[in-house]
Amino acid sequence: MPLGVAVIGCGFQGRIHASNVVASRDTELLLCADLDEPRATDLAADTGSTATNRLEDVWDSPHIDLVVIATTTHTHHDLALAGARSGKHILLEKPMAMTVEECLDIERVAEKCGVVVSVGYKFRYTAASVAARRAVPEPRVLHAHTLYDPAPPGASSWVNDPALSGGRLVSSLVHSVDLLRFLSGSEVVRVFAEGQASGASGTSGDPDTATATLLFANGAVGSLIHGTAGASALVSTWSFQTAASGVNATIHDHGRRLVLHRPGEVDEVVIDPTDDPFAAGTAPLLAATVARIAGEDVTVPGPRDGTISLLVSRCIEESIASGQPVEIPEL
């Protein structure tokens, strides 16, 4: 029996999730919910489901097992709590919430209510990331290169409003932090960052551009460059490297391609089969979430991962503001 699913937030990312839910044999899309009724109606029409602008319809339905929350970030905390208290499993978009305290709150309530929460860290699930993790299980050095155009295609302008997104920098930096944690198999223990406001159109005066060094608990070191001043046509917005002695895995093409280099060998290339670069990794993330709900022994990026990626990103902001290295506090 497929899981009944409601997608809350029928915008850019909600559409991607809805299409995955429809495509999977393990899920059935029942409700498309959005406060903006025409958006819900359009997505419901496109997916053969029902539209609502009343969230009670989601919480009260005995047929909904899983809610996908793809709303503006400032709503994530309240919606996740309402979902968990209604006994719904949750696929929650990133950043998990606005503050670390809100994330910890979601962790607590989800555990108390016994529901699965997975966080939208799709980049862990591209074929390129999975192969990179396997090829370099103990990296010594890692790098994240995430440079956006000032107004990336499909991006919503609310992301530039810190009151709605948590900040332009943090809103996407959490992806880099999560993937670096995944690729390193370790935790970030210290960061040292520099940053500035790029002046890109629409952004607030807060820093939206950063470079940072990261120290991992296993001794690996990492760096990242992140900003909205201009994307790279060569390696794309999402490019990562993970390397150990004698092996380098370079992920590029929006996280979809991997070039694996070992000296003296022919380079190996792994290509993710997903056509839409923005959808890459999202279908396997849904599949893993469904398997986890079914009690299978699979790992999903859970609420603690959501909390840590926000915590480290906030520490990067703190380091930019103070000009000092910041030790990541124990949770």
Residues lying near ligand NAD in the complex (CB under 6 A): 8-14, 33-36, 39, 55, 70-73, 75, 93-94, 120, 122, 156, 158, 171
Residues 35, 255: Cα–Cα separation, whole Å: 32
Does residue 181 come out as left (phi exceeding 0), alpha (psi in the -120 to 50 range) or beta? alpha
Helix (H) or strand (E) holding 316: helix 303-322
- Pick between residue 11 and residue 185 the one whose CB is nearest to ligand NAD: 11
Helix, strand, or coil (residue 225): strand
Least separation in angstroms between residue 38's CB and ligand NAD is: 9
- Pick between residue 42 and residue 194 the one whose CB is nearest to ligand NAD: 42
Least separation in angstroms between residue 33's CB and ligand NAD is: 6
Closest CA to 121 of 173, 189, 81, 45: 173
Least separation in angstroms between residue 219's CB and ligand NAD is: 30
Least separation in angstroms between residue 298's CB and ligand NAD is: 19
- 3-state DSSP of 7-72: EECCCHHHHHHHHHHHHCCCEEEEEEECCCHHHHHHHHHHHCCEEECCHHHHHHCCCCCEEEECCC
Instruction: For residue 75, give the DSSP letter.
Output: G
Residue of closest CB approach to ligand NAD: 11
Least separation in angstroms between residue 31's CB and ligand NAD is: 11
- Within 8 A by CB and 6+ apart from 203, the residues are 150, 160, 168, 197, 228
- Pick between residue 159 and residue 193 the one whose CB is nearest to ligand NAD: 159
Return the axis-axis angle of helices 12-23 and 282-293, rounded to nearest 10°: 60
- Pick between residue 248 and residue 307 the one whose CB is nearest to ligand NAD: 307
Q: How far apart are the first and last CA of the chain?
A: 38
- Pick between residue 73 and residue 248 the one whose CB is nearest to ligand NAD: 73
Least separation in angstroms between residue 78's CB and ligand NAD is: 8
- Pick between residue 12 and residue 137 the one whose CB is nearest to ligand NAD: 12
